[in-house]
Chain A
Amino acid sequence: MDALIPQLLNGSAQGALLLLAALGLSLTFGQMGVINMAHGEFLMLGAFTAYLVQQVIAAGDLSIPVALPVAFAGAGLFGLLLEVTIIRWMYRRPLDTLLVTVGVSLILQQAALQIFPSQGVPVEKPGWLDGQLNVLGYGWPLRQVFTIALAAVCVTALSAWLKYTSFGRRIRATVHNRDLAETTGISTRSIDRLTFFVGSGLAGIAGVAASLIGGTNSQMGAQYIIPAFLVVAAGGIGQLKGTIIAAWAVGVALSCFAYWTTGSLAQVLAFILVIVFLQVRPQGLFTVRTRSLA
């Protein structure tokens, strides 16, 4: 029991970080069906944004709250640029999209290597994230609590945006039936651009959270991209609820396996579990109930 609580808490924080990385993908991959392998590099852009904001803002305590919207906007604009220049021509060509976005991710990694030191840059933890929260005798680091809170805010905001706003309804309609949406008067091109902006922006926010937990370097995106895709697939394509549960389960599994074995073996074991799960339930945790195809 003594060992279980720290693993559950650490695992929940890892799951929250995975969820943040997967949240944008749940829009661009889950909703639009675009396999964007450069999504991890948008996360990297968010992490470097946190570093750059800290260079500009002397007050360390404010740098992270400022970095979050800046990273969202910056990564979102990169995503928008990618959509307008490349992705828009490839909506019905998933294999081409995959190959091209792998190329884009390599270009972004090289660009980061040219601009920042190869060993990475330090993002300082603000003072208010120092310290621990006592949970049943375990000192839970506040930066982990912050990651979970940030993920909760992003999930709530995204769900509310998709559910209650006109834009959200338009996105859901376009995803469900593009032709029907277009003949209902929706400009599906505008919706594509907006969805890509928000999805990529969320990766930027994930990058800020990741910069507080791990290293900030040009390779960090590659570390998150495959787990994030697996989480979205295991949750059920386009199902936010499933993505949340899958991210938490993978986070806790990673933490427990790391405790029992080693960090790298834990990665292997956790993703074998996800792959076995997808073999048994290829549609993921949740699917859509409907009486008709349309």
Chain B
Amino acid sequence: MLELTDVEAGYGRTRVLHGVTVPAGKVVAVLGHNGAGKTTLLRLAIGLIKPAKGRVLFDGEDVSSLPPNKRVARGMAYVPQGQQSFGQLTTLENLQLVAGGRRRGRALIDAQLARFPALEKFAARKAGLLSGGQRQQLAIARALITEPRLLILDEPTEGIQPTIVAEIEQTIVQLAGEGIHVLLVEQHIGFALEAAERYVVLASGFVTQNGEGGSAAAATVRAAMAI
């Protein structure tokens, strides 16, 4: 569904990604140490930065020059790092923001509130006042209201209490089971490889290893990452 071929990208004159290729797959995990270029790769995938070279293909279409909102309209959704939400809007307004222009808007919101019951409890609370875990659930719910075919997740369990981490991991597996493709950056290598069909390992902006996912790949990946 999403394929990146030989992309180079960065910020200003600083090149961060060098000839990176990410194959299509149902769940693709992007692994690597801090500063390897994982977040830059996801920002490139959703269109927040443009490639200096190479192509971003979504369903066979070259979306390299499309802005993020048009990629979302084509079926991509993005959950950025750091539990980002619109802090001055309430939980419900965060969801209405996305559901507003859609035909089944209310039903889509209800479906996500059913998926994350904590959000229903705090529907009237400003998102900036939610806990980190609740904000992350809100970010995922907001992305899912767009009814994506591909969900891009940047470290969805980072800095979140263990009970909610388990819930989020379960949600990701469930979404993949529902047929949504996932591009996942995750520090929790065990979970990422277990969920992934394919994986790539990044180091200093280069792909140093790639292969098929599954728990059996964990030892190889850990060795490559020298963990």
Which residues of A are in contact with B by a Cβ distance under 8 Å? 166, 169-170, 172-173, 176-177, 179-188, 288-292, 294
Complex Cα spacing A188 to B131, Å? 27
Q: Is B129 within 8 A of A183, CB to CB?
A: no
Q: A169-B96, A183-B48 are in contact. Are A290 and B69 (CB under 8 A)?
A: no
- Residues from chain B with a CB closer than 8 A to the CB of A185 are 69, 72-73, 98, 146
Q: A170-B97, A187-B69 are in contact. Are A292 and B88 (CB under 8 A)?
A: no
User: Least Cβ distance of A26 to chain B in Å?
Assistant: 14
Q: Known A-B contacts: A170-B100, A184-B146. Give 10 more (CB < 8 A).
A: A166-B101, A172-B88, A172-B89, A177-B86, A179-B80, A184-B142, A185-B98, A289-B128, A294-B82, A294-B135
- Residues from chain A with a CB closer than 8 A to the CB of B84 are 177, 180, 294
Complex Cα spacing A288 to B82, Å? 19
- Residues from chain A with a CB closer than 8 A to the CB of B149 are none
Q: Is A294 within 8 A of B87, CB to CB?
A: yes
Q: Which of B80-111 contact A (CB under 8 A)?
A: 80, 82-89, 93, 96-98, 100-101
Q: Is B78 an interface residue (CB 8 A)?
A: yes
Q: Mark B195-213, 1 if CB is under 8 A from A, else 0.
A: 0000000000000000000
Q: Is B32 an interface residue (CB 8 A)?
A: no
Contact of B97 among A169, A291, A292 (CB under 8 A): A169
Residue of A nearest to B135 (CB): A292
Complex Cα spacing A201 to B99, Å? 28
Residue of A nearest to B67 (CB): A182
User: Least Cβ distance of B205 to chain A in Å?
Assistant: 21
Q: Is B46 within 8 A of A183, CB to CB?
A: yes
User: Least Cβ distance of B191 to chain A in Å?
Assistant: 24
- Residues from chain B with a CB closer than 8 A to the CB of A170 are 97, 100
Q: Is B68 an interface residue (CB 8 A)?
A: yes
User: Least Cβ distance of A112 to chain B in Å?
Assistant: 38
- Residues from chain B with a CB closer than 8 A to the CB of A184 are 72, 97-98, 142-143, 146
Complex Cα spacing A128 to B73, Å? 52
Q: Is A290 within 8 A of B78, CB to CB?
A: no
Q: Is B53 an interface residue (CB 8 A)?
A: no
Complex Cα spacing A184 to B99, Å? 10
Residue of A nearest to B97 (CB): A169
Q: Is B176 an interface residue (CB 8 A)?
A: no
Complex Cα spacing A185 to B89, Å? 17
Could you give 14 example pairs across A and B, Cβ below 8 Å? Answer: A172-B86, A173-B86, A176-B87, A183-B72, A184-B72, A184-B98, A185-B98, A187-B69, A289-B128, A289-B129, A292-B87, A292-B128, A292-B135, A294-B128
User: Least Cβ distance of B66 to chain A in Å?
Assistant: 11
Q: Mark B158-189, 1 if CB is under 8 A from A, else 0.
A: 00000000000000000000000000000000
Complex Cα spacing A183 to B101, Å? 15
Q: Is A176 within 8 A of B89, CB to CB?
A: yes
- Residues from chain A with a CB closer than 8 A to the CB of B24 are none
- Residues from chain B with a CB closer than 8 A to the CB of A180 are 80, 84-86
- Residues from chain B with a CB closer than 8 A to the CB of A177 are 84, 86
- Residues from chain A with a CB closer than 8 A to the CB of B88 are 172, 176, 288, 290
Complex Cα spacing A169 to B68, Å? 19
- Residues from chain B with a CB closer than 8 A to the CB of A292 are 83, 85, 87, 128, 132, 135
- Residues from chain A with a CB closer than 8 A to the CB of B78 are 183
Residue of B nearest to A290 (CB): B128
Complex Cα spacing A290 to B126, Å? 8
Complex Cα spacing A185 to B69, Å? 4
Contact of A173 among B89, B128, B132, B146 (CB under 8 A): B89
Q: Is B130 an interface residue (CB 8 A)?
A: yes
Q: A180-B84, A185-B98, A294-B82 are in contact. Are A169 and B69 (CB under 8 A)?
A: no
Contact of A183 among B68, B96, B100 (CB under 8 A): B68
Complex Cα spacing A134 to B39, Å? 66
Q: A288-B88, A291-B129 are in contact. Are A179 and B48 (CB under 8 A)?
A: yes
Complex Cα spacing A231 to B133, Å? 38
Q: Is B69 within 8 A of A182, CB to CB?
A: yes
Complex Cα spacing A172 to B126, Å? 13
User: Least Cβ distance of A170 to chain B in Å?
Assistant: 7
User: Least Cβ distance of B53 to chain A in Å?
Assistant: 23
- Residues from chain A with a CB closer than 8 A to the CB of B83 are 292, 294
Complex Cα spacing A184 to B85, Å? 10
Residue of B nearest to A180 (CB): B84
Complex Cα spacing A289 to B127, Å? 11
Residue of A nearest to B128 (CB): A290
Q: A183-B48, A183-B78, A184-B72 are in contact. Are A288 and B87 (CB under 8 A)?
A: yes
- Residues from chain B with a CB closer than 8 A to the CB of A179 are 48, 68, 80
User: Least Cβ distance of A280 to chain B in Å?
Assistant: 25
